[in-house]
Structure formats: structure tokens, C-alpha cells
């Protein structure tokens, strides 16, 4: 359980550490978080298959 929480919290910590560089860039923080969610979400890692 602790490893799951660590993996889930890692993107939040990473975005917090690089937030000043994100603020200066062309993309907003929510857009980057959305991209991370899509890239590392359950469908992307093969844990869930959506029905068509």
C-alpha cells in the first residue's frame, strides 16, 4: 500500500519541484498533469481495457 501511495504522489512532488520552469513555459500545469494522467493512467499501463 505504501508503494502505491508513493507512486501516486511522485508526479505531484515532481511538478512542485519544477513548477517555476513550468510557469515560464508555453504549457500550463493542469495541461501537463492531464498529459501525465493519460501517459500513466490505467488504460495506458494495460490494467484496464475500455469497451468499444
Whole-structure pTM value: 0.49
* pLDDT one-digit tens code per residue, 5-29: 888 888 788 878 888 887 888 888 7
Which residues touch 39 (CB under 8 Å, ≥6 apart)?
A: none
Cα 46–42–52 angle (5° rounding)?
70
Report pLDDT for 38. 83
pLDDT in tens, 29-41: 788 878 878 887 7
In this prediction, residue 50 carries a pLDDT of 61
Amino acid at each position: 500500500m505504501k508503494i502505491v501511495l508513493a507512486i501516486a504522489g511522485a508526479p505531484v512532488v515532481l511538478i512542485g519541484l519544477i513548477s517555476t520552469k513550468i510557469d515560464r513555459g508555453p504549457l500550463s500545469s493542469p495541461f501537463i498533469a492531464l498529459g501525465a494522467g493519460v501517459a500513466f493512467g490505467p488504460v495506458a499501463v494495460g490494467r484496464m481495457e475500455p469497451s468499444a
